[in-house]
Amino acid sequence: MAAELTEIIKEENLVYKKTPALTDNVMHYCPGCSHGVVHKLIAEVIEEMGIREQTIGVSPVGCSVLAYNYLDIDWAEAAHGRAPAVATGISRLHPEKYVFTYQGDGDLASIGTAEVMHACNRGENIVIVFINNAIYGMTGGQMAPTTLVGQVTSTTPYGRDVKLNGFPMKITELLAQLDGTGYVTRQAVHTPLAIRKAKNAIRKAFENTKKEKGTSFVEVVGTCSSGWKMTPAAANRWMVENMFPKYPLGDIKDL
């Protein structure tokens, strides 16, 4: 009886516990990286919705590829940029499943532009989570399609030049124009309030899958301390001051 009472007291006083949808693996991401926070939010949403056995994730190439190491769900790996195509096949074969992709900006907005555009245009019943840190994080810090004008990267040592490199791509706004997208939003995870909003957005995206509202697209503007050559604190400040004006937060489309 005493042991049972102790267990009840522990449960009553429990403030927080790690969701079982996350593995016990220690995350390898660089200090200040946004990936770990987004992993946690996705895992919590999956657990709270009770859909862990019905969820299939698709990870491509880049820092995003190791998401399978941390979220304890079924996964499929895709070639660089091809996650929306793989997710399309899985979703059509298993329409009862919750299928999502987890992609970075170099993957989704560069080599995978065709796949994401056409999947969204078809209105595939999937969720696409897009991490935009404006750089190729894993492969050497090269310029990405979302790299800002004047931003220094390993391939733009003097800053992105419009005449040479063109303009940053606002892929999320482009996708919002397609008839197949039902929910398109841009969030961040740099503050507690932003994290709550991002989690609500991810939850809505997964709920839209059940409602068959077409493609839900959740962009998360994040940091890359290593690629940007900044401390985590400085990277957050730089993101707020420079990324947010170009990539403003909030819902862009919600049907």
Which one has a higher pLDDT value, 232 or 62?
A: 232
Share of the chain above pLDDT 90, in %: 87
Please report the pLDDT score of residue 140 as a whole number: 85
Q: Which residue ranges make up each domain of the chain?
A: 28-254
Task: Decide if 180 contacts 123 (C-beta within 8 A).
Answer: yes
Contact indicator for 52, 73 with CB cutoff of 8 Å: yes
Residue 236 reports pLDDT greater than 90: yes
The stretch 106-117 carries a mean pLDDT of 95
The H helix count followed by the E strand count for the chain is 11, 7
- What is the arithmetic mean of pLDDT over 32-36? 93
Q: What does the mean pLDDT of the chain come to?
A: 94
pLDDT at 212: 95
Query: How many other CB atoms are there within 10 angstroms of residue 50's CB atom?
Result: 8
Between residues 64 and 231, the one the model is more confident about: 231
> What does the pLDDT read at residue 14?
74
Helix (H, G, I), strand (E, B) or coil at 61: coil
Task: Reply yes or no on whether the pLDDT at 237 is more than 60.
Answer: yes
Count of other CB atoms within 10 angstroms of residue 139: 14
Question: Tens digit of pLDDT for each residue in 164-217?
Answer: 999 999 999 999 999 999 999 999 999 999 999 999 999 999 999 999 999 999
Confidence band for 9, pLDDT divided at 50, 70 and 90: low
- CA separation for the pair 31, 229 (Å, rounded): 12
Rounded to the nearest angstrom, the gap between the alpha carbon of residue 97 and the centroid of all alpha carbons in its chain is: 19
Residue with tokens 């399978």: 68
- Please give the pLDDT value at position 8: 59
Structure tokens at 70: 């941390």
192-211 and 35-49 helices, crossing angle to 10°: 50
| pTM recorded for the entire structure | 0.93
Distance CA 177, CA 43 (A): 29
Which listed CATH number (3.30.450.20, 3.20.20.80, 3.30.470.20, 3.40.50.970) goes with 28-254? 3.40.50.970
